[in-house]
Structure 1
Amino acid sequence: MNTKTDGPGFDFCAFLDYDKSDEVRLYEIGRYVAKTCYSYGPVIRPRGILHYVTSGKGMLQIMGKEYSIHEQQIFFIPAGISAYYIADSEDPWTYCWAHLGGSAMLELFNECELNEMQPVRDVKLREGETKSALQRLMDDLFENYEREYFSIAKTYELMDFLHSSYARSEEETNESLQLQYVRTVIKFIQLKFSEPIHVEDIAMTCGLNRSYLSRLFHEATGSTIKDFLSTYRVNMAKNMLKKTDNTIQFVAFAVGYSDIFTFSKAFKRITGMSPSEYRSSPDI
């Protein structure tokens, strides 16, 4: 971990690389007190970066558009997108930032419709507040950034703030009830794949007839629920076979199979090779 506090305009910067989880990653945080007309870019970053303007004003250029940004607004620059921003000539901004990643984080930005086409949002202060909830959250993060799990917990709080502030409710989306059932099936499998679950169990969770749920799922995904479950289990097993020394029998039980024969048969059907062949293959 590296920190910087004495560069031009820098108030604080920490390079964290908290990336143990595939779902939520925190790479860097910082605060910048900009001088008049200080500019950055155009630049393309390999990771998304969220900015929170705590005072002053500035301008963002992204996707051929300009956005005038002021105190108590956030702006998001996705990974792989060119952006340029500059502090105001009379009231230069101060902003916090966080480099963020992970599958859950990307899904959240999608739910909030924070993207290169809609990069700016207002941060609302409650009546009587002098500091926003987001400001208090970022202050806590900056004061305790060396504590990895604390920092990740604060990142989840940040996600909750974004979701509660900007994500559309189910009533506001065009997502059909059928698609919601499909999402429930996928989440159920992701949570319960290591247990001896069956399609009947999933249908009961959704409160639907098995045949009807199976038809909905197949129409939406092109796969049967049973095949999706088998494929998910095998993908989890592939990861374990490559990254651990556990026996094949242990792996089979760990991903929800009651015997090694059924597991090996499913594994070969999906991958074209046996579990032992997959483990010993150096190119996969």
Structure 2
Amino acid sequence: MDIKYIEDSRAKYLEPPQKQSIYLFLCFCGIADCSPSYSYGPAVRPQYVIHYIIDGEGSYTVNNKTYKLKKNEGFLIRPGIVTYYEADKDNPWSYMWIGFNGVKAETYLSYANLNEENLIFEYSKDATLKDYISEMLKLNEMDYSNELKLEGLLYLFMSKLVETRKEVFNQKAYKSAELYLEKSIEFIENNYSNNIKINDIASYIGINRSYLTHIFKKNINISPQDFLVNYKIDKACTLLQNTDLSIKVVAHSIGYSDPLTFSKIFKKVKGESPKNYRERFFSNQI
């Protein structure tokens, strides 16, 4: 049986004659420029269907929830679930769709974080999803070569969705780490005079010490312990330069109860004692 292919001024549709693979197979694909307020449903599909919006806007309603969607966003229709979607009346969407099934379909969708709880995705990195479906629509003559190409393009399409999820997760992880770093430094700025420990910072942020150390080293190439010490010593230098406070008071002001310990750490960081630092600073002012 020949492949089913329909094309007119507003749409293209392709449906392979048979599904060879039991793991993942293409049922149909298409592209359409929808007229204002064009709708489909309420209806139930026997297969998985993904719509990817290439322009315009519209809405997707499923499980009594309506999603407003636009260019570079997409939605998943799960088999056996009543859905309804409608193009915007002022800026109707153009979209591409791909229907598929197979025993591995749900597993591959889960890799992309698409499931009954999460039916919406975004892909704005490039035109790859659109290109894959466009390539499918060109294969409108059925032979063994095109059969394999269609199956390969379907797998590539799914891999892009999975890749997008990984990029989003990495981006979220980066933003979380950036926030942890920001809050850690803020905590140090507000509490350096209280003899805080690294565990105090980690507890405040809500992460363990080893992860806190990983964040500092990865983002600013220094451990939180070294950052804290350097911050304290910088504050001590400011006090030594701008006040006549005793070394003991300066030590207490930056969280060291023992002036001797403070002096040892100061010398390790600055290469000289607090007293010598102060004397040298004022001698250079003359």
TM-score by length of 1: 0.54
1:136 aligns with 2:131: yes
Distance 1:48 1:100 in 2: 5
- Residues 252-275 of structure 1: per-residue CA shift (max 9 Å, x gap): xxxxxxxxxxxxxxxxxxxxxxxx
- Residues 86-142 of structure 1: per-residue CA shift (max 9 Å, x gap): 00011000111111111222211122221333111111225xxxxx11122222221
Distance 2:137 2:5 in 1: 11
The aligned runs of 1:11-160 (5 Å cut-off) are 11-126=11-126, 132-146=127-141, 147-160=146-159
- Shift of the 35–169 alpha-carbon distance from structure 1 to 2, 3 Å rule, reads closer
* Aligned-pair Cα RMSD in Å: 2.1
In structure 2, the residue matched to 1:2 is 4
Distance 1:77 1:55 in 2: 19
- Residues 171-207 of structure 1: per-residue CA shift (max 9 Å, x gap): x9xxxxxxxxxxxxxxxxxxxxxxxxxxxxxxxxxxx
2:161 partner amino acid? L
Unaligned runs of 5+ in 1: 127-131, 173-284
Which portions of structure 1, spanning 4 or more consecutive aligned residues, are displaced by more than 6 angstroms?
Answer: none
- 8 Å CA contact 1:56, 1:91 repeated in 2: yes
In structure 2, the residue matched to 1:277 is none
**How much identity, in percent, do the aligned residues show?**
24
Deviation at 1:153, TM superposition (A): 0.9
- Residues 135-162 of structure 1: per-residue CA shift (max 9 Å, x gap): 2222222112431111111111112111
- Residues 63-91 of structure 1: per-residue CA shift (max 9 Å, x gap): 11000010111111010111000000110
Deviation at 1:54, TM superposition (A): 0.5
Distance 1:12 1:32 in 2: 7
The aligned runs of 1:118-267 (5 Å cut-off) are 118-126=118-126, 132-146=127-141, 147-166=146-165
2:86 partner amino acid? I
- 8 Å CA contact 2:59, 2:87 repeated in 1: yes
- 8 Å CA contact 1:18, 1:148 repeated in 2: no
SS in 1 for 2:16: strand
2:5 partner amino acid? T
2:137 partner amino acid? F
SS in 2 for 1:152: helix
Distance 1:145 1:103 in 2: 26
SS in 1 for 2:61: strand
SS in 1 for 2:133: helix
Distance 1:118 1:18 in 2: 30
SS in 2 for 1:103: coil
- 8 Å CA contact 1:50, 1:76 repeated in 2: yes
User: Which protein is bigger by CA-based radius of gyration?
Assistant: 2
Distance 1:63 1:86 in 2: 15
- Shift of the 169–34 alpha-carbon distance from structure 1 to 2, 3 Å rule, reads closer
Distance 1:135 1:141 in 2: 10
- 8 Å CA contact 2:98, 2:133 repeated in 1: no
1:112 partner amino acid? A
2:153 partner amino acid? K
Unaligned runs of 5+ in 2: 173-286
- 8 Å CA contact 1:145, 1:151 repeated in 2: no
SS in 2 for 1:46: coil
Distance 1:160 1:53 in 2: 18
